[in-house]
């Protein structure tokens, strides 16, 4: 075997492969929560149900999150070209959009809570908050990772040749986005068709 | 897997030898040391789990005894189950995987050494966390399945169960990712999938099972715990919550979990049997794919644990048929093992005895498993001692026999000394006797109507049932004696065992090619693999009749070259961060159990800080993909 | 054949409450080593016909059919067992390395034909088992095609409640059924609307009459059973339900149709009201009012004919004395046991009233109150 870096059996960086494998596991995590949500979608225990959703509002925040995938790609692309200044810019933009999304979720939860959708109200409430909340937690972790990436790059700890780090965080970020696309469809849109 | 010479890296110093002592173990990222840590921790928990079962068997030795209160009894069987499943059998397999996988595939370490340490510390802290409940108002008492709403009730002790298992789940998930990447990505040149030792195949299958099963129980446990502590409504019947959802989620994890526990043992047996029969594994491809098939079908049979639950006839029928057919790949494995021995020159060392015992006992467990799939009669067996007998034949007669076989087999690899065969054989025969004495009669007491998880043996079941129970209890005494001999043998042989040399068993796989015990970097020169059973083929050529003929000494490289300066080999740096980071799970865990936001906050901040410490920790030799060092990375 | 051979079993068949005080431990004869050794020898042989809670001794079609099927499967299983274990033993002996033999075996890597054989044969055997299994699953669960009796079963921590919707009868632990008629149980667990018990999963199991079926809160599950011979059939809760799971027993009393009709008629009559001035009357008064303490009547019903009969939190006591055992059918219905129970229920059966209101509280009754209440309970025939 020749002595070059990343000479792995599959030709894929270990960390990248690790992230892929981990994300495969995450799909089942969200899948299980989603099945609970679908089971309980009408089990509202005389509390608020799906009519509480504000589709236009959530659509806007969903759009913001989707766009952040684009900036994430741009960040990775800049890193590949070794343009660290641009890369940092796009990373910040991505994190910013993530935070906008999170802000939207916090706002949304607050409104729902005021309207009586308490975690302890019904199985529907519990499963909605868990599903959306765990997604939110994933976004928050992603934002932390992006901010870490930004500051480490600023202090020079992440160098132009180490684009794999941006790529891995990008993988995670895209995954979180994809989950949201599914989640938004299953939680908000499909039930809306029935109302 | 690049190995560097000093000239290539421009660094002339050899890696400084690792410090010894307590801190070096805390900071270790060496897969072999982590494997050893796993092993000894497992033994401690095994002892505790054994004490718990002894208390239960004492209580049930006669009808209507009241040696321990029902409250204590319920904690005992719950903790016994949790301990043996999550703190003994699973990490026991992890101990083997850790130590052996890199050696077997010709790697210097696992893919993520620090993550590997992280897995161990999560496991240790998870175990300590669970057991701390004994001092904090009582251990979990809702059985290892933790069915809601009994367990989601705020007055149960099951919050510790939910959080504790969650912690252990993180450990398993991290290990699974680590092992999968290691196996897929770090094989020695020439080590194709179909040349991997069977143990590696089983590790790969097991890791994939964990990868897909753990997130599901994570969800179930989150729900259970938030129901119990934060008054969520997932399983509360009063607000429309459905307890059956918990059962589905739990068993969707729980059934693959069964295979997670048995497949590693199958892998071990598939290594031991060929070595001591002096024949290759019979039907290698069938073995590999049967393992994968068991894993795959294992995700489609979960509801057979719920045949008496609130599910209709159609799912009952569907899951019955699926369950029956999982016996097919299992049967393939059993016949292949027997035919591995067939025509061989079988050397009955202790390791081999345990492997043969595994095949024999596991067959019994497999047969009673098929019996469970007869749904109309399952309604009689379910939740009786017949089931207890069944899964002990699978997990004790199966998994544990296989794992112990592995201990005897690889002990010399780890220590450089052989375990006493005399004591080993005593251990085997008493173990076999004690095991069958304990669990054999349970088949009958179950069919005669004794339900499991009852804190008292009702006198009205009759004297026959009582006799069977007495036999079971006596069996535990035999097992206790046997286990003590095993422990003595383990400890004594470390100092006084016969020196083993590098290849005491005339083995077939490459972990025996290197020094014994292996050096930190495993292989001085990574071997190039040209065949399945690479090491064997370096030692023996085959005549026209396929009879092995020893290759003259020196004609082939059949051992790692230990001598001389091998130059610089970049190995993972020791790091304290995994342990530091992981410790934060303790305040977080207690916070979640007691709904204490301060503790939760401390735990979260601690762990996030730990991650950052981990990330920015300067590496002694630079980052893998640091431009200046491109070409120097080894992992 | 009855290896259990305790005379209690026979006594129970004749429905004679034998005056035996205390919990079960005192009831068992002491054991001698000789007896154990003897039992050891015969146990396996006689196993199939001993004990009352025995899944191998069916007494009705819903237990008999699965039993026949399982014997067929056990037969196949035994054959496979002998074959595989024999093969393992034979191989081990035949191919063990002899002393001084350093020869090497032929390196066989596999044999596709053989491997196909041992893939197909088990598959065929399993298919042969699968077909009757699937058929029987539906047979066992479907509503009986002939006339049947419906009994609702509600699981509480830790006792079974039975309600006969056709007759408006409530009773506990002991279920009376007519011989030869299918009984369809409609089962669920209690809920918070009724009691402090939020409802957990239990499982109703009378091995000689049918397999078990879980009682799940929020679900209704069904179980068919039938007794072809009269007698008392015992069983117990088979799904772990917490602290006193072991003390949650169930009984089915199968009787001829005429006896069953007599039983129904008796259960449908209101409880007798004791004459004024008697000890029983004093007990009845206390039953309804214990001053600052919780009254018995707040959980237990004694129906005296006025108003509707309805479920209480605890077992219905209207015809308490028609039952042979109490407290989840773990204690014989004797005056001594009843008095001890009223004095300190927790010492007779572990419960958790102090924790979350489940089970019977200790009412701190004084001796006079105990006497009066016991007398009253004994009058509820």
With a pLDDT cut of 70, the percent of chain A lying above it is 96
Q: Is residue C193 very low, low, confident or very high in pLDDT (cuts 50, 70, 90)?
A: confident
Mean pLDDT of C143-162: 95
Q: Which pLDDT score, from 0 to 100, does residue A73 have?
A: 96
Select from C43, C139, C246 the Cβ nearest to the Cβ of B70.
Answer: C246
Q: Which pLDDT score, from 0 to 100, does residue B553 have?
A: 61
Domain ranges, residue C248? 149-268
Q: Which pLDDT score, from 0 to 100, does residue B566 have?
A: 59
Q: Does A103 touch chain B (CB under 8 A)?
A: no
Q: Which of B357-366, B558-567, C72-81 has the lowest mean pLDDT?
A: B558-567
Average pLDDT over chain B reads 90
pLDDT of C232-244, one tens digit each? 999 999 999 999 9
Name residues 68-97 of chain A within 8 A of B (Cβ).
none
Measured between CA atoms, the residue of chain B closest to residue C205 is B380
Select from B153, B280, B447 the Cβ nearest to the Cβ of C107.
Answer: B280
| Per-residue CA distances from B56 to A156, B74, B268, B472, C374 (Å) | 61, 9, 31, 11, 36
pLDDT of B214-273, one tens digit each? 999 999 999 999 999 999 999 999 999 999 999 999 999 999 999 999 999 999 999 999
Measured distance CA(C11)–CA(C20) in Å, rounded = 12
Select from C73, C101, C213 the Cβ nearest to the Cβ of B308.
Answer: C213
- Residues near C230 by Cβ (< 8 Å), separated by ≥ 6? C179, C254, C255, C256, C259
Q: Which pLDDT score, from 0 to 100, does residue A23 have?
A: 96
Please check the confidence at residue C19 and state whether its pLDDT lies above 50.
no
Contact B280 C109 (CB under 8 A): yes
Please check the confidence at residue B506 and state whether its pLDDT lies above 60.
yes
Measured distance CA(B449)–CA(C26) in Å, rounded = 22
Neighbours of chain B (3+ CB pairs under 8 A): A, C
Quote the tokens at residue B454: 């009852």
Name residues 83-112 of chain C within 8 A of B (Cβ).
84-85, 87-88, 91-92, 95-97, 101, 103-111
Measured between CA atoms, the residue of chain A closest to residue B630 is A5
Measured distance CA(C279)–CA(C125) in Å, rounded = 70
Order of strands, sheet of C174-178, starting from the edge strand that comes earlier in the sequence: C174-178, C249-255, C231-236
Active site residue B452: yes
Q: Which pLDDT score, from 0 to 100, does residue B503 have?
A: 92
**Contact by Cβ (8 Å): B180, A19:** no
| Direct distance between the N- and C-terminal alpha carbons of chain C, in angstroms, rounded to an integer | 34
Q: Does A144 touch chain B (CB under 8 A)?
A: yes
Last residue of a domain, one of C206, C235, C268: C268
Contact B346 C97 (CB under 8 A): yes
Q: Does C224 touch chain B (CB under 8 A)?
A: no
Q: How far is A75 from chain B (nearest CA, A)?
A: 19
**Contact by Cβ (8 Å): B319, B251:** no
Per the domain annotation, does C141 fall within a domain? no
pLDDT of A3-13, one tens digit each? 334 478 888 89
Please check the confidence at residue B565 and state whether its pLDDT lies above 80.
no
- B/e letters for A114-124, b = 16+ CB within 10 Å, e = fewer, are eeebbbbbbbb
Same domain as C316, residue C259:
no
Per the domain annotation, does C80 fall within a domain? no
Per the domain annotation, does A117 fall within a domain? yes
Q: Does C356 touch chain B (CB under 8 A)?
A: yes
B38 closest CA partner among B358, B407, B295: B407
**Contact by Cβ (8 Å): B586, B593:** no
Q: Considering the entire predicted model, what is its pTM?
A: 0.91
Last residue of a domain, one of C268, C296, C326: C268
Select from C97, C211, C218 the Cβ nearest to the Cβ of B347.
Answer: C97
Tracing tokens 């749904």 back to the chain, one arrives at B375
Please check the confidence at residue C25 and state whether its pLDDT lies above 60.
no
CATH code at position A96: 1.20.120.80
Contact A5 B2 (CB under 8 A): yes
Contact C115 B286 (CB under 8 A): yes
Burial grade of C277 (CB within 10 A; 0-12, 13-18, 19 or more): exposed
Q: Does A119 touch chain B (CB under 8 A)?
A: yes
Average pLDDT over chain C reads 87
Active site residue B537: no
pLDDT of B368-390, one tens digit each? 999 999 999 999 999 999 999 99
Q: Where are the alpha helices (H) located in B499-562, listed in sequence order?
A: 534-539
Contact A36 B185 (CB under 8 A): no
Residue in B33, B195, B333, B372 annotated catalytic: B333
Quote the tokens at residue B283: 């039907």
Active site residue B305: yes
Q: Which pLDDT score, from 0 to 100, does residue A156 have?
A: 84
Q: Is residue B154 very low, low, confident or very high in pLDDT (cuts 50, 70, 90)?
A: confident
**Contact by Cβ (8 Å): B315, B304:** no
pLDDT of B103-119, one tens digit each? 999 999 999 999 999 99
Contact C77 B325 (CB under 8 A): no
Q: How far is B627 from chain C (nearest CA, A)?
A: 47
Please check the confidence at residue B631 and state whether its pLDDT lies above 60.
no
Quote the tokens at residue C319: 């015809």
Q: Going by beta carbons, is chain C in contact with chain A, meaning 3 or more pairs sit under 8 Å apart?
A: no
Select from A3, A4, A21 the Cβ nearest to the Cβ of B181.
Answer: A21
Same domain as C184, residue C153:
yes
Active site residue B144: yes
Per the domain annotation, does A5 fall within a domain? no
Active site residue B304: yes
Tracing tokens 């969903």 back to the chain, one arrives at A62
Measured distance CA(B474)–CA(B451) in Å, rounded = 20
CATH code at position C371: 2.60.40.420
Per the domain annotation, does C300 fall within a domain? yes
With a pLDDT cut of 70, the percent of chain C lying above it is 87
Please check the confidence at residue B403 and state whether its pLDDT lies above 50.
yes
Same domain as C291, residue C263:
no
Mean pLDDT of A31-53: 91
Is the domain covering B33-519+526-530 a CATH 1.20.210.10 domain?
Answer: yes
Same domain as C371, residue C297:
yes
Q: Structural domain tally of chain A?
A: 1
Q: Which pLDDT score, from 0 to 100, does residue B548 have?
A: 87
Measured distance CA(C316)–CA(C299) in Å, rounded = 9
Q: Where are the domains of chain B?
A: 33-519+526-530
Q: How far is A193 from chain B (nearest CA, A)?
A: 24
Please check the confidence at residue A138 and state whether its pLDDT lies above 70.
yes
Using DSSP's 3-state secondary structure scheme, residue B529 falls into coil
Mean pLDDT of B550-559: 65
Q: Which residues of B touch A40 (CB under 8 A)?
A: 234, 240-242
Active site residue B109: yes
Per the domain annotation, does A7 fall within a domain? no
Q: Return the bridge partners of C170, or none.
A: C163
Contact B231 A119 (CB under 8 A): yes
Measured distance CA(C65)–CA(A190) in Å, rounded = 47
Q: Where are the alpha helices (H) located in B83-186, listed in sequence order?
A: 90-105, 113-132, 158-185
Q: Which pLDDT score, from 0 to 100, does residue C28 have?
A: 41
Residue in B270, B340, B384, B405 annotated catalytic: B270
Q: What is the 3-state secondary structure (H, E, C) of B456-476?
A: CCCHHHCHHHHHHHHHHHHHH
Question: Tell me, what's the ipTM?
Answer: 0.93
Q: Which residues of A touch B189 (CB under 8 A)?
A: 1
Burial grade of B142 (CB within 10 A; 0-12, 13-18, 19 or more): buried
Q: Structural domain tally of chain C?
A: 2
Q: Which residues of A touch B209 (CB under 8 A)?
A: none
Contact B379 C211 (CB under 8 A): yes
Residue in B119, B277, B330, B405 annotated catalytic: B330
Last residue of a domain, one of C268, C299, C324: C268
Contact A126 B635 (CB under 8 A): no
Contact C36 B467 (CB under 8 A): yes
Q: Which of B308-317, B556-565, C42-51 has the lowest mean pLDDT?
A: C42-51
Select from B62, B155, B308 the Cβ nearest to the Cβ of C214.
Answer: B308
Phi, psi at B328, each rounded to 5°: -65, -55
Domain ranges, residue A130? 14-38+49-194
Same domain as C262, residue C364:
no
pLDDT of B165-222, one tens digit each? 999 999 999 999 999 999 999 999 999 999 999 999 999 999 999 999 999 999 999 9
Same domain as C262, residue C354:
no
Q: Is residue C190 very low, low, confident or very high in pLDDT (cuts 50, 70, 90)?
A: very high
Contact B375 C56 (CB under 8 A): no
Contact B342 C63 (CB under 8 A): no
Contact B458 C24 (CB under 8 A): yes
């Amino acid at each position: 075997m020749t002595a070059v870096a990343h000479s792995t059996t599959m030709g894929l960086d270990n960390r990248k492969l690790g992230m892929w494998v981990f994300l495969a596991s995450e799909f089942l995590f969200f899948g299980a929560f989603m099945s609970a949500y679908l089971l309980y979608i009408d089990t509202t225990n005389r509390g608020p149900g799906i009519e509480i959703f504000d589709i236009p509002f959530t659509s806007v925040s969903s759009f913001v999150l989707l766009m952040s995938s684009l900036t994430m790609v741009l960040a990775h692309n800049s890193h590949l070209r070794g343009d660290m200044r641009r890369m940092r810019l796009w990373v910040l933009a991505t994190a910013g959009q993530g935070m906008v999304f999170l802000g939207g979720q916090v706002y949304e939860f607050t409104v729902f809570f005021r309207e009586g959708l308490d975690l302890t109200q019904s199985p529907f409430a519990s499963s909605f908050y868990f599903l959306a909340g765990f997604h939110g937690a994933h976004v928050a972790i992603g934002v932390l990772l992006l901010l870490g990436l930004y500051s480490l790059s600023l202090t020079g700890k992440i160098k132009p040749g180490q684009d794999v780090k941006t790529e891995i965080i990008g993988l995670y970020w895209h995954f979180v986005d994809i989950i949201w696309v599914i989640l938004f469809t299953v939680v908000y849109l499909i039930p809306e068709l029935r109302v | 897997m690049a190995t560097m010479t000093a000239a290539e890296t421009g660094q002339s110093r050899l890696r400084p030898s690792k410090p010894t002592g307590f801190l070096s173990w805390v900071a270790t990222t060496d897969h072999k040391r982590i494997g050893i840590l796993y092993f000894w921790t497992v033994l401690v928990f095994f002892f505790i789990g054994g004490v718990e079962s002894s208390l239960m068997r004492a209580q049930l030795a006669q009808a209507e005894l009241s040696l321990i209160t029902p409250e204590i009894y319920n904690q005992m069987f719950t903790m016994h189950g949790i301990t043996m499943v999550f703190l003994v059998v699973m990490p026991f397999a992890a101990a083997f995987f850790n130590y052996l996988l890199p050696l077997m595939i010709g790697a210097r370490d696992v893919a993520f050494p620090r993550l590997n340490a992280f897995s161990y510390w999560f496991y240790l802290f998870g175990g300590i966390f669970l057991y701390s409940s004994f001092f904090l108002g009582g251990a979990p008492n809702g059985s290892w399945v933790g069915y809601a709403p009994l367990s989601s009730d705020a007055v149960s002790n099951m919050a510790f169960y939910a959080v504790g298992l969650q912690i252990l789940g993180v450990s398993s998930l991290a290990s699974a990712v680590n092992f999968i990447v290691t196996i897929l990505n770090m094989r020695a040149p020439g080590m194709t999938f179909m040349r991997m030792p069977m143990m590696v195949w089983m590790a790969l299958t097991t890791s994939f099972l964990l990868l897909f099963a753990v997130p599901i129980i994570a969800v179930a446990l989150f729900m259970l715990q938030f129901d119990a502590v934060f008054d969520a409504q997932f399983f509360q019947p009063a607000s429309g919550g459905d307890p059956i959802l918990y059962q589905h989620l739990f068993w969707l994890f729980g059934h693959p979990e069964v295979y997670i526990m048995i497949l590693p043992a199958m892998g071990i047996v598939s290594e031991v049997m060929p070595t001591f029969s002096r024949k290759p594994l019979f039907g290698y491809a069938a073995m590999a794919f049967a393992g994968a098939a068991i894993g795959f079908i294992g995700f489609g049979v979960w509801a057979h644990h719920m045949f008496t639950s609130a599910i209709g006839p159609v799912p009952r029928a569907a899951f019955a048929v699926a369950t029956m057919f999982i016996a097919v790949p299992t049967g393939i494995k059993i016949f292949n093992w027997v035919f591995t021995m067939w025509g061989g020159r079988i050397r009955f060392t202790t390791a081999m005895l345990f492997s043969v015992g595994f095949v024999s006992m596991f067959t019994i467990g497999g047969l009673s498993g098929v019996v469970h799939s007869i749904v109309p009669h399952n309604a009689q067996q379910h939740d009786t001692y017949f089931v207890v007998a069944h899964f002990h034949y699978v997990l004790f007669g199966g998994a544990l026999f296989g794992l112990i076989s592995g201990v005897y087999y690889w002990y010399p690899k780890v220590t450089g000394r052989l375990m006493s065969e005399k004591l080993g054989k005593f251990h085997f025969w008493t173990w076999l006797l004690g095991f069958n004495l304990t669990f054999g009669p349970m088949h009958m007491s179950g069919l005669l109507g004794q339900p499991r998880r009852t804190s008292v043996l009702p006198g009205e079941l009759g004297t026959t049932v009582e006799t069977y129970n007495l036999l079971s209890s006596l069996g535990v005494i035999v097992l206790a004696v046997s286990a003590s001999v095993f422990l003595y043998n383990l400890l004594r042989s470390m100092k006084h065992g016969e020196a083993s040399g590098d290849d005491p068993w005339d083995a077939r796989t490459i972990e025996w090619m290197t020094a014994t015990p292996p050096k930190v970097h495993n292989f001085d020169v990574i071997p190039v693999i040209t065949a399945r059973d690479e090491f064997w083929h370096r030692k023996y050529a085959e005549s026209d009749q396929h009879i092995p003929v020893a290759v003259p000494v020196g004609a082939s490289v059949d051992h790692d070259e230990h001598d001389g300066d091998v130059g610089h080999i970049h190995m993972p740096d020791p790091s304290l961060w995994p342990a530091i980071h992981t410790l934060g799970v303790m305040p977080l865990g207690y916070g979640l159990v007691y709904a204490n936001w301060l503790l939760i906050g401390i735990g979260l901040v601690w762990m996030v800080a730990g991650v950052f410490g981990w990330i920015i920790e300067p590496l002694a030799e630079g980052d893998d993909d640091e431009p200046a060092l491109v070409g120097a990375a080894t992992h | 054949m009855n290896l259990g051979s305790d005379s209690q079993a026979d006594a129970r068949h004749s429905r004679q409450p034998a005056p035996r005080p205390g919990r079960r431990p005192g009831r068992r004869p002491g054991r001698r080593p000789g007896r154990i050794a003897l039992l050891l020898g015969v146990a396996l042989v006689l196993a199939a016909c001993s004990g009352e809670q025995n899944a191998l001794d069916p007494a009705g079609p819903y237990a008999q059919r699965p039993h026949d099927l399982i014997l067929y499967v056990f037969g196949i299983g035994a054959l496979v067992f002998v074959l595989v274990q024999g093969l393992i033993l034979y191989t081990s002996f035949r191919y063990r390395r002899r002393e001084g033999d350093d020869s090497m075996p032929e390196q066989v890597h596999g044999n596709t034909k053989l491997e196909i054989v041992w893939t197909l044969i088990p598959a065929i055997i399993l298919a042969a088992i699968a077909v009757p299994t699937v058929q029987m699953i539906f047979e066992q669960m479907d509503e009986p095609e002939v006339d049947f009796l419906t009994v609702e079963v509600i699981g509480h921590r830790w006792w079974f409640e039975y309600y006969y919707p056709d007759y408006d009868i409530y009773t506990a632990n002991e279920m009376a059924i007519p011989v030869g008629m299918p009984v369809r149980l409609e089962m669920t667990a209690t809920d918070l609307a009724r009691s402090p018990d939020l409802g957990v999963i239990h499982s109703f199991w009378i091995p000689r009459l049918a397999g078990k079926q879980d009682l799940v809160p929020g679900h209704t599950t069904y179980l068919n059973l039938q007794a072809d011979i009269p007698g008392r059939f015992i069983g117990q809760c088979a799904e772990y339900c917490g602290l006193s799971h072991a003390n949650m027993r169930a009984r089915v009393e199968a009787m001829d149709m005429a006896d069953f009709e007599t039983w129904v008629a008796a259960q449908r009559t209101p409880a007798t009201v004791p004459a004024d001035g008697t000890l029983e009357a004093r007990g009845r008064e206390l039953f309804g009012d214990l001053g600052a303490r919780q009254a018995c009547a707040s959980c237990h019903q004694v129906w005296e004919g006025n108003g509707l009969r309805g479920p209480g939190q605890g077992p219905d006591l209207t015809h308490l004395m028609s039952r042979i055992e109490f407290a989840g059918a773990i204690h014989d219905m004797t005056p001594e046991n009843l008095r001890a129970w009223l004095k300190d229920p927790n010492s007779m059966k572990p419960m958790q009233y102090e924790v979350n209101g489940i089970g019977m509280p200790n009412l701190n009754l004084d001796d006079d109150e105990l006497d009066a209440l016991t007398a009253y309970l004994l009058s509820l025939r």
